[in-house]
Structure 1
Amino acid sequence: MNYSHTFILAICTGLFLSFCSRAQDQRIIAEGAELTVVSDDFEFTEGPAADKNGDVYFTDQPNNRILKWTAKDNSVAVFMEKAGRANGLYFDAEGNLVACADEDSELWKINGNKEVEVLVSDYKGKRLNGPNDLWIDPKGGIYITDPYYQRPYWERTEKEIAEERVYYLAPGATELKIVASDLEKPNGIIGTPDGKKLYVADIGAGKTWSYSVAEDGSLTNKELFTNLGSDGMTIDEKGNIYLTGDGVTVFNPEGKKIERIKIDRDWTANVTFGGEDLKTLFITAMNSVFILEMEVRGVR
């Protein structure tokens, strides 16, 4: 072999190893992992949120209950009945479970003894459309999406607030602040761990937007993240964003699609990371919940 051939081989080998390294870096699903049904004994599952131990709480909204998946033994048990028709859930820094209580369009805080504190019940005297999903920032401020979905258990049949908005409840505040009012039907919402960027899915328009978060919690620099809406959503340690609906579709921080997880259900409602090491993707879809072991971790 002459020097030129040796040189070319070295370059090709280097390129191949570089490609393999990049491919491995981009892999987010654990090698050999398979999607597993935890249970399909529900009516419609939503709102998964992991506590400090990695156990995941989720809702079965038609049956008005919150359930708990215990990561250690892969078991599911009822946590709370008469749960305000809770939809989206999220844990605050003190370990309280904050819930979008859809029955009376409220925002609840549920402590470890299952005692409920109503954080928000209206906006300037008008009933909210129906708090759907939420994210809590590092300072303890709460963002909620407020789309209108007519529920069979409501007596009302129309909105009191025309706009379907995103609101912010500042730490210690009792009144909501409007932070986005130009969306058709905001639904899924998630922020980055540093609290500097917020993603909001407009499921009505079929788009997901990113915003910069100001010091007071207001949103600026609205930019299109991807031409795909979402029900629920989550984020991993690399900043990848997980959107739901037709399975789970994953985008890198630049908005490039990097993965599609097919779910054998008509609709995939929500997703989060759980497990002791936050490397278990927990997925709610119709009457079922699924888990999938991942190469990447979620973020608290």
Structure 2
Amino acid sequence: MLTDAFEVIDKRFTRYAMGNVHLETLYTGTRWAEGPAYFAAGKYLIWSDIPNDRLLRYDETSGAVSEFLRPCRNHNGHTVDRDGRLVSCEHRGRCVSRIEVDGSTTILADRFEGKRLNSPNDVVVKSDGSIWFTDPTYGIDSEYEGDKAEAEIDGSYVYRIDPVSGAVSAVITDMVKPNGLAFSPDESLLYVADTGATHVEDGPRHIRRFAVGAGDSLSGGEIFATSDTGLFDGFRVDLHGNIWTSAGDGVHCYTPEGDLIGKILTGEVVANVEFGGIKRNRLFICATTTLRAVYLNTRAAQRP
């Protein structure tokens, strides 16, 4: 029997939600939990507490939580690249950075066409080594998650960092506030959330889907799904191509066709999620003041 953490909207969801599995609370005490990234070799998870200007570390072997980095220039989203390095979006730094294997930090992008970025929000690394990130203004809108400042770029874009030259190019320029992003398992599709409703009355609260072509060109951009509760923020894709996305009441699961089939109810607004654990079948959930986790009958998508 499914526990009350799961809401079944379509019976297809029962393939992924297992009976007698409970939603666990692993940590309480963040102001705005975000940006989870799992390190399989060390069996630990890194995530952000943006307003408190710190990164936290959950040790899966002991359950212990410690501060990984403080201050951290108000990190938001993270990902782990193919070499096991932490790639970060910094609100206060207004950049995308990377912690190298020796512990040093490299700034990968902080400007576009000579102008400072707004406040990079979420990031993903493609199998060819290119880095894709979103750049809304949330980190410069107030003093709460960064430093209040005027935007130098006339818009909030999605960018790509070339893996060879390091050049930064704008790949999507028609969103209000691009936020979370992820590739489909075969990297033929790019999903990007637009949370523009935070700034525009009746603005976007949806995920769009783009086809990835030769040379990483994008086409399409149709609306894939619209949130029925709050806003979508960060999300992950499993090996079946399902999208597990944050929302106002928990985590929503969408099929590759865009059908909402179920929810994981948290009682708090969720900002982002990450697959982890030995089998990558444990979904870590950043839910405002808490870090949660639940085991699913699916796993993270494998990189090509």
CA distance in 2: counterparts of 1:196 and 1:248, whole angstroms: 24
What SS does the corresponding residue of 2:191 show, helix, strand or coil?
strand
* Alpha-carbon distance change, 259 to 23 in structure 1, aligned in 2, over 3 angstroms: closer
RMSD over aligned CA atoms reads: 1.8
Letter in 1 for 2:26: V
What is the CA-CA distance between 1:151 and the residue it aligns to? 3.2
Give a deviation string over 1:266-292, Cα, whole Å, max 9, x none.
Answer: x21101111111111100011110001
What is the CA-CA distance between 1:23 and the residue it aligns to? 4.9
Query: What is aligned with 1:5?
Result: none
Query: What is aligned with 2:142?
Result: 151
Query: What is aligned with 2:300?
Result: 298
> 5+ residue gaps in structure 2?
1-9, 197-203
Query: What is aligned with 1:253?
Result: 256
Query: What is aligned with 2:16?
Result: 28
Which structure has the bigger radius of gyration?
Answer: 1
Give a deviation string over 1:169-203, Cα, whole Å, max 9, x none.
Answer: 11123221111011111101011232211100111
What is the CA-CA distance between 1:73 and the residue it aligns to? 2.5
Of 188, 193, 216, the match for 2:185: 193
What SS does the corresponding residue of 2:115 show, helix, strand or coil?
coil
Spell out the pairing of 1:80-159 with structure 2 (5 A cutoff).
80-149=69-138, 150-152=141-143, 155-159=147-151
> 5+ residue gaps in structure 1?
1-21
* Contact 2:13/2:262 (8 A) holds in 1: no
What is the CA-CA distance between 1:32 and the residue it aligns to? 1.0
Identical-residue share of aligned pairs (%): 31
Paired residues, what number?
278
CA distance in 1: counterparts of 2:69 and 2:179, whole angstroms: 24
* Alpha-carbon distance change, 56 to 180 in structure 1, aligned in 2, over 3 angstroms: same
CA distance in 2: counterparts of 1:260 and 1:24, whole angstroms: 12
Give a deviation string over 1:63-91, Cα, whole Å, max 9, x none.
Answer: 22222222223322222222221100000
Of 227, 239, 242, the match for 2:241: 239
Give a deviation string over 1:16-75, Cα, whole Å, max 9, x none.
Answer: xxxxxx957852122211111101022221000112335321111122222222222332
Q: TM-score, normalised by structure 1?
A: 0.87
Letter in 2 for 1:43: R
Q: Which moved more, 1:86-95 or 1:113-122?
A: 113-122
Q: TM-score, normalised by structure 2?
A: 0.86
Query: What is aligned with 1:230?
Result: 232
